[in-house]
Amino acid sequence: MPFELLICLRYLKAKRKSTFISIISLISTAGVSLGVMALIVVLAVMTGFEEDLKEKILGTNAHVVVIRNGLPMDEYRQVMEKLTAMPGITAATPFIYNQVMLSSGRNVSGVVLRGIDVPSDRLVTRLNASLVEGNTDNLDPKMGDGAVALPGLLIGKELARNLNLRLGDRINVVSPMGNITPLGMIPRMKPFRVVGIFNTGMFEYDSTLAYVSLTQAQTFFDLGDTVTGIQLKVKDVYHTGELAREINRVLGSDYFARDWMQMNRNILFALKTEKVVMFVILTLIVLVAAFGIASTLFMVVMEKTRDIAILKSMGATGSSIMKIFVMEGLIIGVIGTLLGVASGLLIALNLEPIIDTIQKVTGQNFFSKDIYYLDHFPSQVVPADVALISVTAVLISFIATLYPAWQASRMLPAEALRYE
């Protein structure tokens, strides 16, 4: 064992005259541990929320959407064949997108109506998995209403609650772009039947989206054999930007492709910024603990002035003296980091039962599922985040040791022993 490490370990042991310094060392270790633990838990929760939000966005929307600039897409079958032949694209489905009003009795609500091709849409989105009642197969006119069969309509859970609708209820779909008559513009209206209710977990989707079959949408909007655009599913959801640019190059200027990150960039940017800001703020806890490490080393240097002088008189170099105190501060930082990582992982990996226990004991509901639209408390530990936090904490602890260790290395034996 190097003599610098041996002396460092002896300085860390508490003695009667240095008990106060040892207490400060313990406080500094606890500060580093607390900061690391808080960073791991907070970043795990924020990552969990971010991944949960991404999953909901990708469950309702496609990875890439291709539309024609300002015009309906009439040759969509040929475009779909060309797109599915491109590497990285696994499935494609046409869609129609328009704004309408839903009328049920005295209740009226404006929604976005999507016309989907049910068989191919299942390969691209996870709409069928979000259904709580009904089935997407019933979007075609299979349910009878006396002698007249009504086409099916899927609505969100919140929209069904607002309009007081249940499975099987009749509802009118009204388009503001109606027919021109001698009396003026008459809105186009058609009755549908609720054949399914979905719950994506996002209020915006569940309260403003409705689905019909592609053929019914084409008939209702008088589009003929045209669609609004094509939805695509890709292999790698995190490299859709490059794929969208390649699609724009292949299809030409008449078409425009947008990936899911571009369509949701505001909320994704907000989540990313918030995560970075929280990392910086919580790192200040470790920084405060680093001041404690520096203060401990300053007091140790003052107390061990005689020992430093004797070591130098015996031939110890300034770099060896500096190593002693750098090692002492690093040991404090490393121990605090290890304790923080262990406690942070323990909490982050068991956060949901911990929250449930606290809520039962206190009787307070800190995380209402009805408000946040989550059936669990999301917490996801990313190994890269844990590694970054650990390296940052040890690096801050190392930097905090440099100045007091440098001061100790510059001490002259004669000056140190003058008043001894």
What pLDDT is attached to residue 318?
Answer: 74
Residues above pLDDT 90, as percent of the chain: 16
Residue count (the chain): 420
pLDDT digits over 259-313, tens only? 888 888 888 888 888 888 888 888 888 888 888 888 877 877 777 777 777 777 7
Between residues 277 and 375, the one the model is more confident about: 277
Q: Are 378 and 49 in contact (CB under 8 A)?
A: yes
Q: How far apart are CA 296 and CA 336, in angstroms?
A: 15
Q: Are 257 and 251 in contact (CB under 8 A)?
A: yes
What is the reported pTM?
0.75
Classify burial at 82, counting beta carbons within 10 Å of its beta carbon; exposed 0-12, middle 13-18, buried 19 or more.
middle
Q: How far apart are CA 375 and CA 29, in angstroms?
A: 37
Q: Are 159 and 128 in contact (CB under 8 A)?
A: no
pLDDT digits over 228-270, tens only? 999 999 988 888 888 888 898 888 888 889 888 888 888 888 8
Pick the closest to residue 25 from 395, 390, 344, 334 (CA basis). Answer: 334
Over residues 170-182, mean pLDDT: 76
What pLDDT is attached to residue 21?
Answer: 62
What pLDDT is attached to residue 154?
Answer: 93
Exposure string of 46-61, with b = 16+ CB inside 10 Å and e = fewer, is bbbbbebbbebbbbbb
In this prediction, residue 342 has a pLDDT band, given cuts at 50, 70 and 90, of very high
Pick the closest to residue 367 from 97, 48, 10 (CA basis). Answer: 48
Q: How far apart are CA 224 and CA 215, in angstroms?
A: 9
pLDDT digits over 349-361, tens only? 888 888 878 878 8
Between residues 148 and 76, the one the model is more confident about: 76
Domain coordinates of the chain in residue numbers? 3-56+268-417, 70-252
